[in-house]
Amino acid sequence: MKTIPLRPKSFALAALAALTFTLQAGPAAAAGTESAQPQGSFNQTAAVNSTSADKVINQYEALLKQGKLPKAFSYLNEHIDEVTKYQAMILVLHLENAVKKALPSMVDRIGKTSVQTQINKVYKIGDSFADVIKRTNDKSLKALLQEAADSGFKLETAEGFYFPVVRYAALQKFNPYVTDDIKAYMDIMTVESEKASVKDAGLMIGYQELVNRALSQERFVKQFPSSNRIAQVKQLFQSYKILTFYGVNNTPLFDYDTKVIQPNAKKGYGLILKWNDTKSSPYLTTLQKFMNLLADQNDKLTEEVEKFRKANVPIQ
In this structure, the answer to whether residues 41 and 173 fall within a common structural domain is yes
Q: How confident is the model at residue 50 (pLDDT cuts 50, 70, 90)?
A: confident
192 plus 260 within the same structural domain? no
pLDDT digits (tens, 9 = 90+) for 111-124: 999 999 999 999 99
CA-atom Rg of the chain in angstroms: 22
Question: Taking Cα atoms as reference points, which of 172, 177, 180 lies closest to residue 39?
Answer: 180
How many angstroms separate the CA atoms of 272 and 267, rounded?
9
C-alpha distances out from residue 119 to 142, 143, 146, 150, 160, Å: 10, 13, 13, 18, 11
| Residue 143 covered by a domain | yes
Specify if 275 maps to a domain. yes
Q: Does residue 18 belong to any structural domain of this protein?
A: yes
Residue 171 inside a domain? The answer is yes
Residues 261 and 168 both lie in one domain:
no
d(CA 87, CA 98): 17
| pLDDT score at 301 | 98
Residue 236 belongs to a domain: no
32 or 58: which leads in pLDDT: 58
Range of the domain at 270: 253-312
Percent of the chain with pLDDT over 90: 82
Instruction: Render pLDDT for 158-191 as a digit per residue (tens, 0 to 9).
Output: 889 999 999 999 999 999 999 999 999 999 999 9
Residue of 24 and 190 predicted with greater confidence: 190
pLDDT band at 73 (very low <50, low <70, confident <90, very high): very high
* One domain, residues 182 and 308: no
In 3D space, the residue among 283, 288, 247 whose CA is nearest the CA of residue 271 turns out to be 288
Quote the number of domains for the chain: 2
Asked if the structure places residue 183 within a domain, the reply is yes
> Are residues 191 and 264 both part of a single domain?
no
